[in-house]
Structure 1
């Protein structure tokens, strides 16, 4: 997952202490003018390199898959350090902070060059005064971006825990009201090897499983808390997460329970189905209606019928979904071999 290995973001005080303590050790190893030059070089390099690494370790959001972009944008809006700026997306705010940290890195290098020139043309005592001035200015620069460093660190902590979803794999999203059998279906077709991961803004785990058919690996996702209730009951962040799923899904399997044993009237289930279909229509994603608990009732028009509890037609439903996905791998032509 693209955010999983992001390094810990240092705080300004921590970074300043690290740079100046190492500079002091470097200075003790030398004498006179050379000691001041070594201290300046060491502190500046540690500060500028660490600040630059904060920026370069992040992926380029212009190149990030739209699913992860939208999901990151939604997640970051839940972070307190990103709050109070409703007119901007979470990713935009993060980009601004990364830009400020990059600016600080460049400023430190400029201070190093400016005072490095001064240190070459003076006596040791004056050089010591110049070096202390340089340290004070560098510390001011780093402290100026403390809020940005904290924001970047908060973003890292939030995003690195996102589920390991693979946008390059053909993906089936399972939707429907609670208790209609979605998780049971996912467990059945993945032989219960699916992982349970959590979105930071949901209270239930997101089921992510995989299965293979004709040597093609498929991804299947159950999203409780997102596609299990009407649109008006979702908050803005949950709506954006659904938008992210539009980029990910190759087909949606909407599960209904015609027996209404799930606790929801069939009319309400079909109304939610129609809303989901309308939502994914713009993304040209097929939405299949599957009637589960067919051993109890089949009193609904559906694309397929099954009973996960009885093991009836589960594979047939999966075949129908795979056909709807219509995934064709890119095979190398003779000229590419």
Structure 2
């Protein structure tokens, strides 16, 4: 399950108020109320029932949002770009405050009801106070629901070794993904794109790998995007990934080699990830080899696919080894074989300066005449 999918729809303050007060009224329907004690218990029960509905619903809103500090960096960056981490924290804090405040107010009014001659006005006053608290966080509830709708659309990217496929449209990226995964990749939404991303998986040597095709993302110059779009796209650099950039030297994709090379240079500049450049459509008669590209493939015939896969997996393994903590041999210089120092503990004579042997001061207690204020206090006593 994607990390944001468990966030339920966030109700408005009006929806929450109607739900709580209707439930409180329904809890008392059909019950016979006779005498003062019965009326007190009925009104007390209505306040506690409504308060429990409010506090439970508000607490659940906070609980269902993930801990942002524990989010994978990829999702943290996207969340911050799309809705704002600090704004989310502030709204969730407001909802949490409201939940605790309603509990406090309800307990206070239960005590007042027990002491009241007429409990109904006190119960209505309690309902008014609680409704006012919920109304004060309505903007936060609206924002959290909007954030929830945005975040639930993010792609389900697993914490797995990943191959990100980049390049202009029609160069053969989706065909490559289908070829190596043996299935049609799942299309997932991605911010600021209409096509989303295509995600597939394959297993080699009992290790599951993730392949991400990026139509609408890494297929046109960054200069054509605004700042927020660029930030959302470059969040990909936080994946445990290597990049395969695919070029079509035949230019049958509709883009000239010069344009494809410019996009390649731009992606290299924006993504600090290992990158493999591959030329596709080697089966076409107009295909021409390029000196700067080592590997040529055809997603139609399968030519060169296994060689490219081997290289990509090798790059992933090299990246993993570089990211692991160093396991250097311990230095043989330790422990030191030098003679232990005899300087400590110090063998000097203890200082006789402390404790001080000075004569005690005779200044306190003060023998001054008491002030007029003090005399007044004494006379009162």
> TM class, shorter-chain normalised?
0.7 to 0.9
Give the conservation status (yes or no) of the 8 Å contact 1:226–1:241.
no
Q: Between Structure 1 and Structure 2, how many residues are aligned? A: 311
Deviates more, 1:91-100 or 1:33-42: 91-100
Q: Work out whether residues 247 and 260 of structure 2, in 8 Å CA contact, stay in contact via their aligned partners in 1.
A: yes
Give the corresponding residue for 2:267: 276
CA drift at 1:300: 4.2
Does residue 70 of the first structure (1) align with residue 77 of the second (2)?
yes
Contact 1:198 1:204 in 2 (8 A): yes
- 2:93 is aligned, of 73, 96, 99, to 99
Find the counterpart in structure 1 of residue 57 from structure 2. Answer: 50
Deviation of 1:299 after TM superposition, in Å, equals 2.2
Within the alignment, does 1:16 sit opposite 2:14 as a pair? no
Distance 2:23 2:194 in 1: 45
Residues 34-62 of structure 1: CA deviation (Å, up to 9, x unaligned):
01110110011111111111111110111
Task: Report the Cα offset of residue 249 of structure 1.
Answer: 4.2
Aligned-CA RMSD value: 1.8
Deviation track 1:103-141 (CA, whole Å, cap 9, x = no partner) reads 111221121122122122222x1x221111110011111
Instruction: State whether residues 282 and 298 of structure 2, in contact with CA within 8 Å, keep that contact through their aligned partners in structure 1.
Output: yes
Secondary structure at 1:40 match in 2: helix
Partner residue of 2:175? 184
- Following the alignment from structure 2 to structure 1, what is the Cα–Cα distance between the partners of residues 240 and 249? 25
Structure with the bigger RCO (C-alpha within 8 Å, sep 6+) is 1
Partner of residue 120, structure 1 = 114
Q: 2:165 is paired with a residue of what secondary structure?
A: strand
**Residues 179 and 299 in structure 2, CA contact (< 8 A), matched pair in contact too:** yes
Aligned to 1:140: 132
Structure of larger gyration radius: 2
Shifted more, 101-110 versus 54-63: the winner is 101-110
TM-score (normalised: structure 2): 0.78
Instruction: Find the residue that maps to 2:68 and give its secondary structure.
Output: coil
Render the CA deviation track for 1:206-263: whole Å, top value 9, x for unaligned: 1100011111000010111111111211222321122210001420001111122222
Question: Which sections of structure 1, spanning at least 5 residues, go unmatched?
Answer: 77-89, 331-337
SS at match of 1:62: helix
**Corresponding residue number in structure 2 for 1:206:** 197
Partners of 2:212 and 2:228 in 1: CA distance: 19
The yes-or-no answer on 1:222 pairing with 2:216 is no
User: CA 1:300/1:256 → structure 2, altered by over 3 Å: closer, same or farther?
Assistant: farther
Alignment of 1:151-300 (within 5 A): 151-166=143-158, 168-281=159-272, 285-295=273-283, 296-300=287-291
Q: CA contact under 8 A between 1:75 and 1:201: conserved in structure 2?
A: no
Give distance in 2, aligned partners of 1:45 and 1:303: 67
SS in structure 2 opposite 1:120?
A: helix
In structure 1, which of residues 17, 20, 40 is the aligned counterpart of residue 47 of structure 2?
A: 40
Q: Distance in 1 between matches of 2:146 and 2:105?
A: 29
**Cα distance in 2 between the residues matched to 1:102 and 1:38:** 23
Shift of 1:200: 4.2
Structure 1 Cα separation of the partners of residues 184 and 132 of structure 2: 52
Distance 1:291 1:162 in 2: 30
Q: Which moved more, 1:227-236 or 1:202-211?
A: 227-236
The answer on whether the counterparts of 2:249 and 2:280 sit within 8 Å (CA) in structure 1 is yes
Mean Cα deviation higher: 67-76 or 105-114: 67-76
